[in-house]
Structure 1
Amino acid sequence: MNRKTLVLPAVVGLLAPVLAACGGSNGGKGEAIVVGTTDRFSASKEAPAPFDPAYAYDVGAWNIMRQSLQTLMSQPRGGGDPVPDAAEQCEFTDTGNERYACTLRDGLKFADGSALTAKDVKFSIDRVRGIKAATGVSALLASVDTVETKGDREVIFHLKAPDATFPFKLSAPVAGIVNPDNYKKDALREGFSVDGSGPYTMKAEVKDGAMTKAVFTKNANYKGPLKLNNDKAEIVSFKEPEAMGAALGKGDIDVMSRALTPEQIRTLSNTQDDEINLIEMPGLEIRYLAFMTESPGVKEKAVRQAMAQLINRSELVSEVYGSQAEPLYSLVPATVTGHSNAFFNKYGDASVSKARTLLADAEVSTPVKLTLHYTTDHYGTVTKQEFEQLQKQLNAGGLFDIEIEGHPWDEFRPAELKRRFDAFGMGWFPDFPDADNFLAPFLDKDNILNSPYADGQIMDTLLPQSRRKADRLAAGDSMIKVQDIVADDVPMIPLWQGKQYVAYRDTVTGAAYLLNSSSGLQLWELGQGVGG
């Protein structure tokens, strides 16, 4: 079979009949399927609990956790509204979207065989809210007022205000159900262990304080809707994407995804290979610059507006990412309901003269000296090239004197949370595919960046207003107003929206379903056989 690049539509489930016809016949049993990643997982004094649902809030950690932690709801394979998982059914039981009731599946057990009851669900949710970690992950459950249980199988969430997005939040690992025997109510679980009632159990291999491999074994006590196509899978962490690519070529790993370099993608797209396939699919990953708006270097709004006026997104994407990304003019990606091109509407094309006028009108002395910070090992190795391009663009007109500085993620994230950076680059993989999740995490109370920026209209009116709308199309007006405010105040500058790629050997099936629309890893989809 010649190597081919599959370009998948947003609803990948539409391809099921075609891909199934190419699948193997051995049911995915046998040796472990090995998936490579460049995500790095470390435990340190400042970040001691990389896989605790009360602490972890990045796509790499969530992709480890979601294999072993079961949630009441889950995002379906082909996208769409969440479906019951640990729950047998869930629904709003009032007309105002303020009371959400779930009935658990009968006979649920944790992986160790102990019974899982409604009290464990309550414990898990209350624990996240009580610990309220600095990462900001608890903000996803901020709409919860109280959790009530009735018997062993009924859980009722009483919300502080209407929240039509709540079912999505219950599908995220932050709502993972944990065993009180393994997790303390008021303290994080340090280290690399993660236990739950999900499809797999996980054992970590650790060296020098970092996890090098996660070994997932089928959980015999799992009771849920997922069908496992393998009995064992592994995630191996690589320091460099080039080493990961070499491992795929030699057959040491079966699949690689996050994060391939643009060069690797171009090579795989253009080279004939009878053993390795590449899949391209729509993605909701975004990249942005963020500002600590009370910091001296960027406190003046005109400075932030001038930067927004100077950045040429098309050039940035073309020079660094090519066809693997698209310019983004809002925090909400173009494929998500509620998107608007707010930054283009306000600033238009990049212009030095317009930026000069913004600074002059605000009586800002030029050149403005500023350091842009980025992480060297969390979003791919070309992040440095991206920031070199931003530096070039911002300095070209003489209005700015920008320096750039890179940091490893385990230093970058704690420093950012402590507000040590005036301006810095971040990426976002959504918790769920709704416009609210591209806005609220950064702009609502207890935002994930620990940013001092706060707009009363956004927090007190527009976001609550949108959450009252069960029909998410009807929430669009509120979401657009939020984006317009962001474009004017510029607490953040959206840069680009990326695609998703999976490269896999031809002995693997199910690779088209490995990632959901939120970049969530679904190891259970992989099987052994002749790939499509």
Structure 2
Amino acid sequence: MNRKTLVLPAVVGLLAPVLAACGGSDSGSGDGDAIVVGTTDRFTTEEAPAPLDPAYAYDVGAWNILRQTSQTLMVQPRGDGEPVPEAAEKCGFTDTGSERYACTLRDGLEFANGDPVTAEDVKYSFERAVKINADTQVASLLSTVDTIETKGDREVIFHLNTADATFPFKLTTPVAGIVNPDDYAKDKVREGFEVSGSGPYTMKAEVDGDEMTKAVFTKNPNYKGSLTVNNDKVEIVSFDDADAMGKAIEKGDIDVMTRAMTPDQIQQLSKATDSEVDLVEVSGLEIRYLGFKTDAPTVKDKAVRKAMAQLINRDKLVAAVYGSQAKPLYSMVPAGITGHSNSFFNKYGDPSVDKAKEMLEDADITTPIKLTMHYTTDHYGSATKPEFEQLQKQLNDSGLFDVDIKGTPWKTFNLAERKGEYDVYGMGWFPDFPDADSFTAPFLDKKNTLNSPYANPKIIDDLIPKSRAEADRLSAVDILTDIQDITAEDVPLIPLWQGKQYVATRDDVTGTAYLLNSSSSIQLWELGRGVSD
């Protein structure tokens, strides 16, 4: 069959999904009528005893589980745009200063077990996340909440401690998921892989030792919300690597392949003209960056970090490892988001050994500078190792650095980074919501998600609050540019690249064009069975 292209309306500067490489229609899943989705995300309690508690979870894999089960007051709409009510019947600011936000719950809302969902349950859920204050720093998304008021069983009023025009977006994130007080203690996390809520699905985990190998989602008969659920059962299966996942979709053992495919897999699927597997390409907001423990002896001097920023050649990095699947990024705020600015290019221009050498000489720093860059071997895909080999080569070829690289599995890497064990490390970021605040505050605000020692008072006390006060995000552009310019000057982080998002699917599965939303989150309810055109 000829290659297919599906073009959907583009919104807020983001490109619409493109569907390519269509094949026949005789594929099937490995378990009856369940739609089976593959992932290389791993879920373990070895290092994180409560990986699926909304008050603890703060990574894209765990959030992809919770978004199916834990209902939120608001939800991101199909495609893109402003949040719309989900568990709520209506929500909105009731003042002109974006400091009082009121929601009315849908009538008859129930948890999956039949218990009623009340305004007190919403209040309990938010206050619980703040009280637990997990070391993942997910509660920082609720930092602008001062007090919560309830009126009757259905009205919830959030009184904010400062103006926050992004608050409706925060209500779409799993930390804002409504939990049943009978299942979730007020002052401690819920350990293990059990989840319960009022979302479109219930979930049962299949576990091997301390690891969840499969999540089985069954349509929740008590669900009352804004989402249309197009299937009765979906399974998410974890694979050791992308090659094993690729073989499974070729055999028909799984129906959909998500993150993280290899660049070679994506290239092969994009070129195929006669295949039973389709490729869906979505212009993504995923970014990759280097992080620094800015008080570590090796990188404490800002000149060292600035020299690295001056040396890294993003064009060569992307071309060597990712090709057309990514593009160089010169700011933590990616292209396509209001407020994006190429601050690192404006500051450093083209890569230059001479300029980097001058920076280090002016700071009386002896070269070569010896340091280790750490990366995770199994969380962002198999291309991470060659990416860090390329970064290592660029820095060492300058003669100014003597860099080693070390890869570690995510379950160890993630905890070690939060404990401050790495001076330099590579991370990826999928936004909490599609706004510049989600690419700045999580890294630069108080209690940042990296537990970074970097703290700039102007950013924390002045610029972030001013940005959040602007309901019209275009009015916040100058403020956001200032944040990005300061980041380029101080270099607590170095943005590297912005990637596209891909889903591979057997061609009897429908709804894959909307499987990923603009925050790269999976929406399993969109999937169905049928024959692709």
What TM-score range do you get, normalising by the shorter chain?
over 0.9
Pair 408,395 (structure 1): closer, same or farther in 2 beyond 3 Å:
same
Separation in 2, partners of 1:441, 1:88: 29
Cα shift readout 1:313-366 (whole Å, capped 9, x = no counterpart): 000000000000000000000111000000000000110000000000000000
Q: How does 1:54-69 map to 2 (within 5 A)?
A: 54-69=55-70
**Superposed displacement of residue 5, structure 1:** 5.8
- Cα RMSD between the aligned structures? 1.9
2:152 matched residue in structure 1: 151
**Superposed displacement of residue 194, structure 1:** 1.0
Kept in 1, the 8 Å contact 2:7–2:16? The answer is no
**Superposed displacement of residue 223, structure 1:** 0.1
Aligned counterpart for 1:37 among listed residues 33, 36, 39: 39
2:373 matched residue in structure 1: 372
Cα shift readout 1:270-306 (whole Å, capped 9, x = no counterpart): 1222411111110000000000100111000000000
**Superposed displacement of residue 388, structure 1:** 0.3
2:407 matched residue in structure 1: 406
Secondary structure of the structure 1 residue equivalent to 2:159: strand
**Superposed displacement of residue 77, structure 1:** 0.7
Separation in 1, partners of 2:522, 2:94: 32
Q: How does 1:64-143 map to 2 (within 5 A)?
A: 64-143=65-144
Separation in 2, partners of 1:310, 1:5: 39
1:496 matched residue in structure 2: 497
2:314 matched residue in structure 1: 313
Separation in 1, partners of 2:272, 2:296: 49
Separation in 2, partners of 1:220, 1:11: 33
**Superposed displacement of residue 2, structure 1:** 3.9
Kept in 2, the 8 Å contact 1:6–1:280? The answer is no
Cα shift readout 1:165-184 (whole Å, capped 9, x = no counterpart): 00000000010000001000
Which residue identity does 1:293 align to in structure 2? T
Separation in 2, partners of 1:463, 1:362: 31
**Superposed displacement of residue 4, structure 1:** 3.9
Kept in 2, the 8 Å contact 1:3–1:275? The answer is no
Kept in 2, the 8 Å contact 1:5–1:277? The answer is no
Normalising by structure 1, report the TM-score.
0.96
Cα shift readout 1:79-132 (whole Å, capped 9, x = no counterpart): 100000000000100110000000000000000000100000000000000000
Kept in 1, the 8 Å contact 2:10–2:16? The answer is no
Normalising by structure 2, report the TM-score.
0.96
Which residue identity does 2:67 align to in structure 1? R
Which residue identity does 2:530 align to in structure 1? G
1:432 aligns with 2:433: yes
Separation in 2, partners of 1:66, 1:75: 11
Separation in 2, partners of 1:365, 1:6: 55
Which residue identity does 2:268 align to in structure 1? T
Separation in 1, partners of 2:239, 2:402: 35
Kept in 1, the 8 Å contact 2:15–2:283? The answer is no
Separation in 1, partners of 2:109, 2:345: 51
Q: How many residues align?
A: 524
Kept in 1, the 8 Å contact 2:15–2:282? The answer is no
Separation in 1, partners of 2:9, 2:361: 47
2:242 matched residue in structure 1: 241
Pair 43,10 (structure 1): closer, same or farther in 2 beyond 3 Å:
farther
1:454 matched residue in structure 2: 455
Q: How does 1:457-476 map to 2 (within 5 A)?
A: 457-476=458-477
Cα shift readout 1:33-59 (whole Å, capped 9, x = no counterpart): 001111111112x31111111111001
Secondary structure of the structure 2 residue equivalent to 1:57: coil
Cα shift readout 1:240-274 (whole Å, capped 9, x = no counterpart): 10111111111111111111110001110112224
Identical residues among aligned pairs (%)? 69
Kept in 2, the 8 Å contact 1:213–1:236? The answer is yes
Q: How does 1:19-418 map to 2 (within 5 A)?
A: 31-44=33-46, 46-418=47-419
Separation in 1, partners of 2:502, 2:210: 29
Separation in 1, partners of 2:6, 2:437: 30
Pair 202,484 (structure 1): closer, same or farther in 2 beyond 3 Å:
same
1:481 aligns with 2:482: yes
Structure 2 alignment gaps of length 5 or more: none
Secondary structure of the structure 1 residue equivalent to 2:69: coil
**Superposed displacement of residue 512, structure 1:** 0.4
Secondary structure of the structure 1 residue equivalent to 2:68: coil
2:518 matched residue in structure 1: 517
Separation in 1, partners of 2:100, 2:381: 42
Kept in 1, the 8 Å contact 2:40–2:241? The answer is yes
Separation in 1, partners of 2:317, 2:326: 10
Kept in 2, the 8 Å contact 1:7–1:279? The answer is no
**Superposed displacement of residue 531, structure 1:** 2.1
Separation in 1, partners of 2:34, 2:459: 48
Separation in 1, partners of 2:431, 2:150: 30
Kept in 2, the 8 Å contact 1:372–1:425? The answer is yes
Pair 5,377 (structure 1): closer, same or farther in 2 beyond 3 Å:
farther
Which residue identity does 1:32 align to in structure 2? A
Separation in 1, partners of 2:75, 2:425: 32
**Superposed displacement of residue 14, structure 1:** 10
Which residue identity does 2:99 align to in structure 1? E
Secondary structure of the structure 2 residue equivalent to 1:71: coil
Secondary structure of the structure 2 residue equivalent to 1:283: strand
Kept in 1, the 8 Å contact 2:310–2:353? The answer is yes
Pair 457,181 (structure 1): closer, same or farther in 2 beyond 3 Å:
same
Cα shift readout 1:161-219 (whole Å, capped 9, x = no counterpart): 00000000000001000000100000000111111000000000011211110000000
Which residue identity does 1:195 align to in structure 2? S
Secondary structure of the structure 1 residue equivalent to 2:180: coil
Kept in 1, the 8 Å contact 2:16–2:282? The answer is no
Secondary structure of the structure 1 residue equivalent to 2:285: coil
Secondary structure of the structure 2 residue equivalent to 1:356: helix
Secondary structure of the structure 2 residue equivalent to 1:66: helix
Kept in 2, the 8 Å contact 1:314–1:327? The answer is yes
Separation in 2, partners of 1:218, 1:139: 31
Secondary structure of the structure 2 residue equivalent to 1:406: strand
**Superposed displacement of residue 10, structure 1:** 4.2
Separation in 2, partners of 1:189, 1:239: 26
Q: Which is further off, 123-132 or 268-277? A: 268-277
